[in-house]
Amino acid sequence: MAAHCRTRCMPRGSRDPATTMSALIHPVHVERVMGFIERAQAAGDKIVRGGTLWKDGGNWVEPTLIMPRSNDSEVVQNEVFGPVLTVQTFRDEAEGVALANSTAYGLSGMVYTGNRERAERVGRAVRGGTVWVNTFLVRDLTAPFGGVGISGIGREGGDYALDFHSDLKTLQILEGSVV
């Protein structure tokens, strides 16, 4: 584990239940993720946090937060599949939904709000196979899982896997988190 790791990371061979982050699967995956980070920086996007390999060896990429110069940034418009997030500001709900729906991808999304009506409205408006409200990666294995747009094909999970060519959506709101 890296000395400067601020999250609970998984050392090689460990199955510690307190783990919140693990290494990437392969050096080629590390190169792909680091390529997104390096190209973002070269394009003028601001690396707010992270952006480097951890020095302990292995396939560790430091969790990275990027503030893109525009919504057209490569790191915004593509699926990175690594510990990289972007942060974008918006003036109102409609602009936020438009930003969320501006890519060709739609595997999943997250909405954070304390308002039930907004949770329902925005959760339904965000284009994605799964949209979580006030939670992340909560998954009922009998519910469908899969993306829309160019994020995968069809669904897995439950009877919905039989509806391979449909665009179903799951909206999950953390119980007690909205009024």
Higher-scoring residue by pLDDT: 165, 179: 179
- Tell me the residue range of the domain where 46 lies: 1-88
Q: Residue 26 and residue 114: Cα distance in Å, rounded? A: 39
Q: Specify the number of domains making up the chain.
A: 2
Q: 160 and 116 in one domain?
A: yes
Longest dimension (CA), the chain: 47
Q: Report residue 84 CA to chain centroid gap.
A: 8
Which residues, other chains included, contact 86 with Cβ-Cβ below 8 Å and sequence gap of 6+? Answer: 65, 66, 67, 68, 73, 75, 76
* Mean pLDDT score across all residues of the chain: 86
**Claim to verify: residue 125 and residue 110 sit in the same structural domain:** yes
Q: pLDDT tens for residues 52-76?
A: 998 677 899 999 999 999 999 999 9
Return the pLDDT at 145. 80
- Closest CA relative to residue 100, chosen from 68, 133, 76, 134: 76
pTM of the model: 0.76
Same domain, 148 and 108: yes
- The total of other beta-carbon atoms located within 10 Å of residue 171's CB is 17
Instruction: Indicate whether 35 pLDDT > 50.
Output: yes
Q: Domain boundary residue among 55, 88, 121?
A: 88
| pLDDT per position as a tens digit, 13-24 | 556 777 777 889
With beta carbons less than 8 A apart as the criterion, state whether 61 and 53 touch: yes
Binned at pLDDT 50, 70 and 90, residue 136 comes out as: confident
65 with 111, same domain: the answer is no
Residues 29 and 107 in one domain: no
Identify whether residues 1 and 24 lie together within a single domain: yes
Residues 81 and 97 in one domain: no
